[in-house]
Amino acid sequence: MNLTRPRSNVRAMDLTPMIDVVLQLLIFFMFTSQFAQLTRTSVNLPEQAGDKDGGRSAPTITIDIGAEGRMLIESRMVEMAEVERIVRAEIDHAGGDAARVTVLLRSDRDLPALFVNGLALRLSALGVRGWRLGTSAPAGGGS
């Protein structure tokens, strides 16, 4: 009399590594989706309806300028020479084509236009023509 069970050819697959990878990817994507919001500084933007075109690509560089004229890129204070260096590096990264570099300028509404004009002239001298001015929607929901 044989009391042992017959062996089955079915093997159980260990799903633990796959679950670990999925959870790590989930955490990674949750963190990186919020990273862009963390690097933005608080700027009192001018109220203007702005462009409703959502099909535009994300800006290559975002420059924040406070009411006192301090420029910030990724929450780090920079001088004009550093801004020019960063823009040149982005142009080189785009294959030397300045038309592929887009700058989003988020300036405080109390900032004199002289600062914005000076930065626009520097960007133009570097060949960058694609820059946008960040605005906030009017509080009353106007057009």
Q: For residue 112, what is the domain's CATH number?
A: 3.30.420.270
Examine residue 138 and state whether it is found in any structural domain, yes or no.
no
Across the chain, what does the average pLDDT equal? 81
C-alpha–C-alpha distance, residues 117 and 136, integer Å: 20
Examine residue 55 and state whether it is found in any structural domain, yes or no.
no
C-alpha–C-alpha distance, residues 52 and 39, integer Å: 24
Examine residue 117 and state whether it is found in any structural domain, yes or no.
yes
Examine residue 50 and state whether it is found in any structural domain, yes or no.
no
CB atoms within 10 A of CB 8: 6
| Strand partners of residue 72 | 64, 77
CB 94 within 8 A of CB 139: no
Examine residue 25 and state whether it is found in any structural domain, yes or no.
no
pLDDT at position 137, please?
Answer: 75
What distances in angstroms separate CA 23 from CA 1, 13, 15, 46, one per listed residue? Answer: 50, 18, 12, 41
Examine residue 98 and state whether it is found in any structural domain, yes or no.
yes
Q: For residue 102, give the nearest of 73, 137, 142, 61 by alpha carbon.
A: 61
pLDDT in tens, 49-101: 766 655 466 778 888 888 888 898 888 889 999 999 999 999 999 898 888 88
Residue linked to tokens 């990878």: 21
Q: Which helix or strand (DSSP H or E) is residue 115 part of?
A: helix 113-125
pLDDT > 70? residue 131: yes
- The pTM for the full model equals 0.62
In this structure, what DSSP letter does residue 2 have?
Answer: -
Examine residue 16 and state whether it is found in any structural domain, yes or no.
no
CA dihedral sign of residues 110, 111, 117, 121:
negative
Examine residue 86 and state whether it is found in any structural domain, yes or no.
yes
Q: Which domain holds residue 69?
A: 61-133
If one counts the domains in the chain, the total is 1
| Strand partners of residue 71 | 65, 78
CB 108 within 8 A of CB 66: yes
